[in-house]
Amino acid sequence: MTTILETKDLTFKYPDGTEALKGINFKLEEGTMVALLGHNGAGKSTFFLHFNGINEATSGSVEIEGKPLKYDKKSLLEARQKIGIVFQNPDDQLFAPTVLEDVAFGPMNMGLPEDEVRQRALDALEKVGMSHVANKAPHHLSGGQKKRVAIAGILAMKPKVMVLDEPTSGLDPNGASSIMQLLYDLNAEGMTIMISTHDVDLVPLYSDNLHVIVGGQIIKSGTCKDIFSDPEVMEEADLRLPWIGQLFEKFDKEDGIVFEEGYPLTVGDAHDALLKRITK
C-alpha cells in the first residue's frame, strides 16, 4: 500500500491555549475509505484542517506523498488540489450566486482554461446527481442537496483524497445513507476517502478501517470488530455498540446465547449469523 498522507507527532494549540491535538501519528493509505470516530470536541475538525494546511501544526509534521507540507502559497495550492476537504457545514463552503459557479470555483482557482473549468463543474454535478440544480442559488437548496454540491465543488478539482467532516450531520436517515453510498461509490472508483463521524451505527456499514480519537489523541486504530470488542477503548472514548450489536449483547448477557463471530455490527452480519444458527 502507498501512504498518501501521514502525520508525525502532530500537535496543535489554539491561540487561547487549548491543546486540541496532542501528538498524532497517523497514516492514510491510498485507495482506502477510513473513518475517524470521536465525540464532539475530540479534535476531528482540527485534525482534518491540518491535512491541506488550513491549520499549521504547532509541532510535528504533515506529509503528503512522502513530502513535508510547506505553508507558502504555491505549496498550499498544490496541497489543496491533492487533498480536498468538505466542511461540516456546507454554508461555510458555498458562496457563489449559482451552484454551477460555486462548483467551478475550485478548478477556476487552479488556473485551468474556461472550457475545462465548465466541463469539470458539469461532470462533478452529474456525479453527485445535482445537474438539475446547476442554475439555482446554493442557499435555496435542501441540506442534503447542499452537501452534494459541496462534494461536487471538491470533486471538480479532481483531488486524490477527499476528506469530509461529519458528512451526514444534519441529514435525515435517507439523506445520510445516500451521501454515504455516494462516498462508497467514489471510493470504489479509486478515490481515497476519509470521514469523521460520531455515528456508531453508520460506521460499520461503510468502513472497516477506523481510528478512534479522544482528547486530541488517536487511542486505537483497527477494524470495527477490533474497536467495538475492546471494552477499554469503548469506555475511554465513551462509545456505545451499534444498536444491532446491543441486541446480540443482550442475547449473550441475559440468555447465554453466544455467537462465535462476536456481536454482529450490521444488519447484514446479524442476518448471516442468525441464518447460520437457524439452519445448523
Among 5, 10, 33, 42, binds ligand ADP (CB under 6 A): 42
Stretch that binds ligand ADP, among 15-23, 25-33, 51-59, 267-275 (CB under 6 A): 15-23
CB of 203 to ligand ADP, least distance (A): 15
Q: Which is nearer to ligand ADP, 218 or 270 (CB)?
A: 218
**29 Rama class: left (phi>0) / alpha (psi -120 to 50) / beta:** beta
Stretch that binds ligand ADP, among 37-45, 112-120, 146-154, 201-209 (CB under 6 A): 37-45
Task: Quote helix, strand, coil % in the chain, to nearest 5.
Answer: 40, 20, 35
Binding of ligand ADP by 44 (CB under 6 A): yes
CB of 35 to ligand ADP, least distance (A): 13
Stretch that binds ligand ADP, among 16-24, 90-98, 101-109, 121-129 (CB under 6 A): 16-24
b vs e for 27-58, b when ≥16 Cβ sit within 10 Å of the residue's Cβ? bbeeebbbbbbbeeebbbbbbbbbbbbebebe
Binding of ligand ADP by 10 (CB under 6 A): no
d(CA 9, CA 23): 4
What are the residues whose beta carbons fall under 8 Å from the beta carbon of 146, sequence distance 6 or more?
90, 91, 94, 138
Q: Which is nearer to ligand ADP, 133 or 194 (CB)?
A: 194
d(CA 210, CA 149): 26
Residues 45-74 as x/- pattern, contact with ligand ADP by CB under 6 A: xx----------------------------
Binding of ligand ADP by 218 (CB under 6 A): no
The count of residues in the chain is 280
Dihedral of alpha carbons 184, 186, 187, 188, sign: positive
Among 9, 18, 95, 240, binds ligand ADP (CB under 6 A): 18
Binding of ligand ADP by 163 (CB under 6 A): no
User: Which value, to the nearest 10 degrees, does the dihedral of the CA atoms of residues 124, 126, 132, 137 take?
Assistant: -10
Stretch that binds ligand ADP, among 40-48, 69-77, 136-144, 243-251 (CB under 6 A): 40-48
Helix (H, G, I), strand (E, B) or coil at 113: coil
Binding of ligand ADP by 7 (CB under 6 A): no
**How many of the chain's residues bind ligand ADP (CB under 6 A)?**
12
Helical H runs in 189-266?
203-206, 224-228, 231-236, 243-255
Binding of ligand ADP by 14 (CB under 6 A): yes
For 21, the enclosing helix (H) or strand (E) is strand 19-29
| Residues making contact with ligand ADP (CB under 6 A) | 14, 16, 18, 20, 38, 40-46
